């Protein structure tokens, strides 16, 4: 529980423990962290009518399990993970401004030149 709170603070996410009493996969938001009957966590990446794609902890490759085997192993518990939403302000645009900084500088420069040119032509 303490580690979960540290992870939430470090990555600015919200983790909620959920339970599917009927083990309905359609209620899960994928990818989902699920637990087997021994409370060992797995990542459920994908599923269809017959199979599920599971990633075990560690450096093991993903595995394909039969859906019925998965439903027997799964204890119905899973974690729902959401990102915290920040307030909408100018900071949302800063990365785009920095990405296109050169274009903005050119636009400002040419706007300045055009305005100087217009004022210089309208002298008395």
- What pLDDT does 114 receive? 92
Residue 95 sits in which domain range? 90-121
Query: What pLDDT shows up at residue 122?
Result: 65
Q: Both 38 and 73 in a single domain? A: yes
Whether residues 77 and 98 share a domain: the answer is no
- The total number of structural domains in the chain stands at 2
User: Is there a single domain that holds both residue 71 and residue 94?
Assistant: no
Q: Please check whether residue 120 is in contact with residue 56, taking contact to mean a CB–CB distance below 8 angstroms.
A: no
Find out whether 62 and 70 touch, Cβ atoms under 8 Å: no
Who has greater pLDDT, 21 or 35? Answer: 35
Instruction: State whether 64 and 106 are in the same domain.
Output: no
If asked whether residues 29 and 44 sit together in one domain, one would say yes
Task: With CA atoms as reference, report the closest residue to 48 among 65, 23, 60, 73.
Answer: 65
Question: Band of the pLDDT at 123, cuts 50, 70, 90?
Answer: low
Supply the pLDDT for residue 124: 52
Across residues 98-122, what is the average pLDDT?
A: 89
pLDDT tens, residue by residue, 50-100: 999 999 888 889 999 999 999 999 999 998 888 777 677 787 788 888 899
Q: Are 29 and 50 members of one domain?
A: yes
* Same structural domain, 73 and 105: no
DSSP-assigned letters across all residues of 26-83: GGS-SSEEEEETT--EEEEEEE-SSEEEEEESSSPPPEEEEHHHHHHHEEEEEEEEEE
Cα→Cα distances 41→13, 22, 26, 56, 115, Å:
19, 19, 19, 7, 64
Say whether 92 sits in a helix, a strand or coil: helix
Cis peptide before 31 (omega within 30 of 0): yes
**pLDDT of residue 28 exceeding 60:** yes
């Amino acid at each position: 529980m303490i580690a979960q709170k540290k992870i939430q603070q470090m990555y600015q996410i919200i983790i909620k423990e959920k339970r599917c009493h009927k083990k309905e996969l359609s209620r899960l938001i994928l990818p989902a962290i699920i637990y087997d009957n021994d409370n060992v966590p797995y990542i459920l990446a994908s599923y269809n009518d017959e199979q599920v794609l599971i990633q075990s902890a560690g450096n093991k490759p993903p595995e394909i399990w039969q859906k019925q085997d998965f439903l027997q192993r799964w204890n119905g518990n899973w974690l729902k993970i959401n990102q915290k939403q920040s307030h909408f302000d100018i900071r949302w645009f800063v990365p785009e401004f920095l990405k296109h900084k050169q274009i903005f500088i050119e636009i400002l420069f040419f706007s300045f030149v055009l305005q100087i040119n217009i004022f210089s032509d309208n002298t008395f």
